[in-house]
A and B are shown apart, each in its own frame.
Chain A
Amino acid sequence: MRIAFTTKGTDWNSPMDPRFGRTAFFLIYDEEKDELIHFDNSATEGAAHGAGPKAAQKLFELKATVLITGNGPGGNAGTVLEQVGVKSYVGAGEMNVQEAYKAYKNNELKAF
């Protein structure tokens, strides 16, 4: 499973970013390889429109199958995520990445 987190930093202790499309980073944790990579999403700061679908497309390229975030994606992004089969979990906006992962594993996050 490749799990994507919306985050404000690049390691396990980083705070989560509650936003989806305009999150500062995506952290991707590959459970099989036990490997954590990050993608800098700050380029979307300048995008007036369409940050959501763009970010969702990026998750597809990064081969994520689960998304853990705060507020949850909007309608357009939701459409893309559904098409590419990424399952979203919300409510982790106030946690750090480690806590968010634990909460996901313990089924404490809400499916979006």
Chain B
Amino acid sequence: MRISIASGKGGTGKTTLSTNLSAFLAEGSEVVLADLDVEEPNSGLFIRGDLISTEHKYKMVPEWKEDACTLCGLCQKVCNFNAVIRLANQILVFPQLCHGCYACSELCPTESLPMIPQKMGQLSLYKRGNLNFVESRLDVGEEQAVPLISQTIDYIDQHFPEAKYKIFDAPPGTSCPVIEATKDSDFVILITEPTPFGLHDLKLAVETIRSLNKPFGIVINRDGLGNDDVIEYCTKQNISILAKIPNSRKIAELYSQGELLYHQIPEMAQALKEIENYLSKLVIQELA
């Protein structure tokens, strides 16, 4: 079962929930945790395992060969991302802007834009007991997170077809990287905080996940902070609140030291248990 943990707003607890839930579930079954926030992965600060392997990841980008090029400009015309620019006597390619769609390359009448691999980042696999942790990291200067996210999910599907739970720590926001990290999941957990900011971005996240037709539920982090508007919103919208994590100084201290929480925070263990129960029911429904 693939579960994406997303949020809309940054800093609401995606990584806290992803790492704690993964470690908690791994006490009973095989789990894969993937940090899909490839622009700034941080799950690895909390999951320390043995490094099993590291590999470079590549995306395909066009490279201009001037010999046969007639400078017809079709490449520039079909590029939706302005990654290919025609000038008086040359074609300029901006690999950072390229989404790797192959349109310019395939449509070029003189085959002057062959696609070549370009390194965009790396993927590392760590293991700690039943928990397999996959961290992908985009190289500095790369602008496109989507190809690396997509390849990371493919890697997990190939290497861990049997894992009971695959937990995806998604990037913040509601743009392309978040869509890529959630679109093939069986369930999405949206984590939020009970503040006006949290609610504002939660609404955007709900709208996004609904347009993907994904089943989802909410976890409230820093419960006790702010106001009841998030709860009222969920009730009105008929959205399940799976669990609440309390607002606590002790949690912040443990987090700042890179520690998992549930061994020392009973309310966290309780919240994770509630989420596990909810997910187990979904697994049973899926099998039925």
Contacts and interface: CB of A to CB of B under 8 A. Distances in A.
A49 B82 contact: yes
Contacts of A47: 82
Contact of B82 (A53, A79, A83, A84): A53
Given A57-B87, A84-B87, A79 B92 contact: yes
A104 interface: no
Given A76-B94, A76-B96, A76-B97, A49 B81 contact: yes
Interface string A36-70: 00000000000111110110110010000000000
B97 A50 contact: yes
* Range of interface residues on B (Cβ < 8 Å): 10 to 19
Interface string B4-37: 0000000000000000000000000000000000
A51 B135 CA distance: 32
Contact of B85 (A48, A51, A80): A80
A47 B96 CA distance: 15
Question: Is chain A's interface secondary structure helix, strand, loop, or mixed overall?
Answer: helix
Nearest to A47: B82
Nearest to A21: B82
Interface residues of A, number: 15
Nearest to A60: B87
Contacts of B2: none
Contact of A50 (B87, B88, B90, B94): B94
Interface in B158-215: none
Contacts of A79: 92, 94
Nearest to B90: A83
Contacts of A56: 85
B143 A80 contact: no
A80 B92 contact: yes
Interface string B126-140: 000000000000000
Contacts of A54: 82, 85
Interface of A: 47-51, 53-54, 56-57, 60, 76, 79-80, 83-84
Given A49-B83, A57-B85, 17 more contacts: A47-B82, A49-B81, A50-B83, A50-B94, A53-B82, A53-B83, A53-B92, A53-B94, A54-B82, A54-B85, A56-B85, A60-B87, A60-B88, A76-B96, A79-B94, A80-B87, A80-B92
